[in-house]
Amino acid sequence: IPIDGARRVSLTGTEGSIAALSSNGKRLAYAARNKLKLANLTPDFRIAGIPSLLLTESHAISSINWTPDGRGLFYQVWTDGSYYSRLVSVEASRVAPRLINSGGNVAVSQILADGTGLGIEQGSKSELWRIDLQASRREPEEVRNIPWTDNRPHVSPDGRSLAFVTNRNGPTQIWVSLLDGSQPRVLVSSVPPFDRYGDRTVVDSISWSPDGKWIAVLTEPGVGHGVNDARLFLVPAAGGRLRVLVELCSQVRDSTQWAEDSQSVFVSKEDE
């Protein structure tokens, strides 16, 4: 969907729930539960031909991220109380996916331009971790502790800043700080209520545009199982007015996907 709210394009219909767009905007990788598929896109962002099946896992795929060179996919599967992670080529169909040690309970949510992966450890305390996919030994490196008041972090494209949801001041707000946690500032002082559901609104995800100028914020009503409604906002990363981009869409498990030119975002809408 364009950031001016104009013409929307439905891509995978009801088949896919988790997707990742290649940096050049020409290919879409998505998961249909335990099946990882790859589709080519036309210049106007429509699927061309029949998507190919890359692989089938024994359990549902929980996240997908492209490698910076556009030649591979880093994906994770949640099973038996922890994640296992794999790196697969999208060009060599006969090469088996390589198992990556991401730390067991580290949910990788983002691959930066330099090839490092970032994620949060799931457990009694939260930690921000980074994995260098170019290194000979791909072991997770701890960046810093995440306070219990903070969640939904997303790193800026240059790797220097972090946007996150926090309750440090009491009400739910969105802050921006440097990656090490210094120089925190309030970006959104109040998250708007979700219409008829009242003021229990929670932030579902945050994501920076590739040019670093915008931050997309997806909110949900926070009323529990069975309600998948969401609303998408945009706010300038430097600070400014929060405005509605999509009045009604669906929740996502990962951050909102941006097109490479920062002029479009991709959202899920499961009732169509």
Q: What is the pLDDT of residue 268?
A: 85
Q: What Å distances lie between residue 9 and 41, 76, 107, 109, 231, CA to CA?
A: 12, 27, 29, 25, 17
User: For 189-202, what is each residue's pLDDT tens digit?
Assistant: 988 888 766 667 88
**What single letter denotes the amino acid at residue 191?**
V
**What single letter denotes the amino acid at residue 203?**
V
Q: What is the pLDDT of residue 36?
A: 94
Does residue 80 have a pLDDT over 70?
Answer: no
Q: What is the pLDDT of residue 197?
A: 65
Confidence bin at 163 (pLDDT 50/70/90): very high
Which residues lie closer than 8 Å to 74 by C-beta, 6 or more apart? Answer: 64, 65, 66, 67, 85, 86, 87, 100, 108, 111, 117, 133
Query: Whole-number mean pLDDT of the chain?
Result: 86
Could you tell me the strand order of the sheet in which 116-121 lies? 106-111, 116-121, 126-132, 141-146
249 sits in which H/E element: strand 243-250
Does residue 82 have a pLDDT over 80?
Answer: no
Percent of the chain with pLDDT over 70: 93
* pTM (predicted TM-score): 0.59
| Residue that has been written with the tokens 């998961």 in this structure | 31
Confidence bin at 20 (pLDDT 50/70/90): very high
Q: What is the pLDDT of residue 164?
A: 94
Name the token pair of 96.
């088996």
